[in-house]
Amino acid sequence: MEIPLLSENDVLAKLKENQAMRETDERGHSVFDTAMVVHGQMYQLEQHLDRLLTSADKTQIDWKKSGLSKEKFRQAVFAVARATKHENQGLRFWLGAGPGGFGISPKECPRASFYCVATELKRMPEDKYTHGIKVVTSTIAMKPSHFANAKTTNYLPNVMLVMEAEAQASWQGVWVDENGNVAELGTANIGFILEKGSQTLSVPSFRRTLAGISVKRIMYIAEHHLGMKVEQRDISLSEAKQASEAFAFGGPYLTLPIVLWDSDIIGDGKVGPVARTLYEAQLRDWKDAWGDDGHLEPLRK
């Protein structure tokens, strides 16, 4: 099965036929992932495709029966990115159970479906990095581990988490599990410097969260290029709020310093030195990947 490159008019025609909606969204039986092009280079596409296929397997989307493959997905993403002619762009791709009627069983789907869309690469305003962000503890129920560990299109809890936070003049909410341990934000992982002057980056376990590509990369950079120590473990809400520094990591956000959590000030309420170090390390990663293989590919050869 070949994956066609569609023009805007082609997409509109399919939407009129209701095919695109039926293939991915009618029963929510689909997964998605994202990637970026920065400075004319594809950034960490392989890692995002691997997670896409892991999510598809977790949700029993039988994409292999359709003659699809990771390499075909990769070629399709590159084709879309090249067609835009932009040096910086966001990419989002969906893998669904496929077209069918409006029933709930995927048995009526003859083949899996794959879509990729290029979007503007939206960066956070610079003042978020110089002044920090506010978050709140969310009251929205967390997803069970099986669904939290897969990147599905069921983002209703995430949407409600963000709405709840915005109603309190905050960027996003933070989920805390039933044992009182910090989990993640709606679209970002979280990390900490728990003690003042420490060089240990502490990140909650991925047991109840999505294993973020961005946070895994910054953990690697911190340990292998910045000389920091890295740990993953349970971190209670009270311990998190007493941290010297706290950060949100995710996609184009880079390292977002958290300076206020509910009504509690994190550290001294200012952006700390580690936040700036990690931010600058990620900016470099977008340019040369610190010399590491497998993270950057030229968009055009």
Residues carrying an active site annotation: 151
Question: How many angstroms separate the Cα of 154 from the Cα of each of 25, 30, 184, 274?
Answer: 10, 9, 16, 34
On whether the CB atoms of residues 256 and 124 are closer than 8 A, the answer is yes
Residue 189: closest CA among 159, 225, 161, 214: 214
Residue 235: closest CA among 278, 177, 154, 172: 177
| Range list of H helices, the chain | 8-16, 19-24, 45-58, 70-84, 126-131, 145-148, 156-166, 213-224, 237-241, 273-288
How many residues are present in the chain?
Answer: 301
DSSP-based three-state secondary structure for 261: strand
Question: Terminus-to-terminus CA distance in the chain, angstroms?
Answer: 26
Separation between Cα atoms, residue 220 and residue 214, nearest integer Å: 10
Residue 211: closest CA among 220, 223, 198: 220
CB atoms inside a 10 Å sphere around CB 175 = 26
Question: How many angstroms separate the Cα of 264 from the Cα of each of 6, 13, 149, 168, 239?
Answer: 49, 51, 29, 14, 12
Place of tokens 């069970």: 144
Question: How many angstroms separate the Cα of 28 from the Cα of each of 104, 130, 297?
Answer: 9, 39, 32
